[in-house]
């Protein structure tokens, strides 16, 4: 089962999300204005990008502070 590492960083007014482990040539960068949407929407975004279902993979979350 694939595992995708999702790094979430606060950058100004946005939550920047970087998804590592996607297939070659697939970009995994998404910005959110609301933190409460990140956990719900990122697995769906990964599923869309990989043509799979959220049940087909795991997500490892990394939460970082603003640089």
User: Which domain, by its residues, includes 12?
Assistant: 3-64
Which pLDDT score is estimated for 67? 52
> Which residues are 11's β-sheet partners?
14
Residue 51 sits at φ, ψ, to 5 deg, of 50, 50
What is the count of structural domains for the chain? 1
User: In this predicted model, what pLDDT tens digit does every residue of 1-60 receive, in sequence order?
Assistant: 999 999 999 989 999 999 999 999 999 999 999 999 999 999 999 999 999 999 999 999
For residue 12, the tally of other CB atoms under 10 A from its CB is 8
The CATH number of the domain where 15 resides is what? 3.30.2390
């Amino acid at each position: 089962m694939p595992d995708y590492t999702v790094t979430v960083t606060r950058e100004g007014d946005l939550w920047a999300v970087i998804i590592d482990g996607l297939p070659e040539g697939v970009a995994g960068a998404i910005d959110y204005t609301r933190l409460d949407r990140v956990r719900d929407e990122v697995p769906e975004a990964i599923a869309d990008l990989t043509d799979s279902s959220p049940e087909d993979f795991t997500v490892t979350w990394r939460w970082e502070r603003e640089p």
